Amino acid sequence: MKTNLTIKPNVAVSAFYLFFIVHTIQTGAGIMGVPRILYLEAGHDAWISVLIAGLYLHFIGWIMISILREYESADILGIQCDLYGKFIGISIGVIFLIYQFFILLSVIKNYVEVVQVFIFPSMPIWLMSLFLLFLMIYCVLGGFRVVVGTSFIFFFMTIWLALTIYKPITYMDWDNFLPLAQSSPLEILKGAQKTAYTVLGMEIILFVYPYIKNKDKVSLPIHLALGLTTFLILLVTVVSIGYFSPDHLEQTVWATLALFKIISFPIIERFDFIAVALWMMVVIPNIVLLCWMLLHTLNRMFNAPKKKSLYVISVLIFLASTLIEYRVDINTLTDYTSKLGFWLVFVYPLLVFVSLKIRKLWRKRRGTV
């Protein structure tokens, strides 16, 4: 496996698009239910957990950028093989494959379940899964630029949904946040850790870097994307804590979507139905980017043809989605994916960064002898 990749100019994109890539892959299925998850851990101090998680996101983003800048045009797959050897590098790559497959499956399953609960209770699971997979295949077959274009277009088509939160804000009870700092530091840190599933996907930085033309300008769009993601999670968490009663929030699985229930317009009585339908445009960039990352990993490690791999992965995802039916199974899938993703995305880059620094120091000392 080559460490550095040579990407054709007509395939590469400007660093500007990293903002849309990173933000849209993070904002999707996780943000629908994150307020409840955080509240169960940190109580009404969950907003502090979000701020801590946001700071750590920027730190990990800086670590990832620092790792990539040690090479000319490499991704994490080439870097770990160069750093730890082919056997260990491929082994870690297989773990990445497993993680990418299951996070893709969990995003699809979580959204399909939301559609069933909110809009079509009697709709077959396989039908909605098949529809999402067809859209995924159509976008990914267009190549990397179409994948990036999907995240760009759907960002502008959905970001306005954040403005509709104004109505629940007017009904917030600010006493729900008192007394401040009631949760212990450990509970707040556990809450910060629970945001992991919501913000997973930022590891795409480690895979997409070779496809960026002006690599010296990647920092700003990445940190802006991470900042916007943190702001949106903080917004829905604060509004949910203030709007719902404590008991109600603990029992509301998709608190973010439930906020849309009180929004109505003269010609639209149930805006929550519209919001759930529109949320598909939030989820599509998720699954498209995750699928591209999975195909890229397969191609880099085993030289697997991307087109054939796409069809095989789609069939496997479809079969797995039909076998997982109940909420408890979806929760189990999400929890295990979140735990694996936490170690791969928020811990493993630190190990790679330290390893690179140690090797650089060792080579420097060896060169002076």
- Residue 293 pLDDT > 80: yes
> Cβ distance 257 to 74 under 8 Å?
no
Q: What is the mean pLDDT of residues 96-116?
A: 94
pLDDT-derived band at 165, boundaries 50, 70, 90 = confident
Following DSSP, what letter does each residue of 346-365 receive, concatenated? HTHHHHHHHHHHHHHHHHHH
Q: Which domains does the chain have, with CATH numbers?
A: 15-368 (1.20.1740.10)
pLDDT-derived band at 15, boundaries 50, 70, 90 = very high
**Least confident among 32-36, 262-266, 325-329:** 262-266
- Residue 368 pLDDT > 70: no
Q: Percent of the chain beyond pLDDT 90? A: 71
> Cβ distance 110 to 334 under 8 Å?
yes
39 backbone dihedrals φ, ψ, rounded to 5°: -65, -35
- Residue 273 pLDDT > 90: no
Tell me the CB-side half-sphere exposure of residue 152, using CA atoms within 13 A. 13
Q: What is the mean pLDDT of residues 314-340?
A: 91
3-state secondary structure of 214: coil
- Residue 270 pLDDT > 80: no
**pLDDT computed for residue 366 by the predictor:** 80
- Tens of pLDDT, residues 209-221: 999 999 999 999 9
What single-letter DSSP state applies at residue 14? -
Q: Percent of the chain beyond pLDDT 70? A: 99
43 vs 118, more confident: 43
156 vs 123, more confident: 156
**pLDDT computed for residue 256 by the predictor:** 87
Q: What is the mean pLDDT of residues 50-69?
A: 96
- Residue 274 pLDDT > 90: no
**Could you tell me which of 281, 327, 349, 297 has the C-alpha nearest to residue 101?**
297
**pLDDT computed for residue 264 by the predictor:** 74
- Residue 369 pLDDT > 50: no
**Could you tell me which of 58, 51, 93 has the C-alpha nearest to residue 352?**
93
Q: What is the mean pLDDT of residues 111-119?
A: 88
261 vs 136, more confident: 136
3-state secondary structure of 292: helix
30 backbone dihedrals φ, ψ, rounded to 5°: -65, -40
Report d(CA 333, CA 343) in Å as an integer: 16
| Per-residue tokens: 102 | 């299951």
3-state secondary structure of 85: coil
Within 10 angstroms of residue 17's Cβ, the number of other Cβ atoms is 19
- Residue 268 pLDDT > 80: no
**pLDDT computed for residue 244 by the predictor:** 92
**pLDDT computed for residue 2 by the predictor:** 86
Question: Which residues, in sequence order, are CB contacts of 223 under 8 Å at separation 6+?
Answer: 58, 61, 62
Q: Could you check whether the bond before residue 179 is cis, i.e. omega within 30 degrees of 0?
A: yes
pLDDT, the chain, mean: 92
Report d(CA 294, CA 289) in Å as an integer: 9
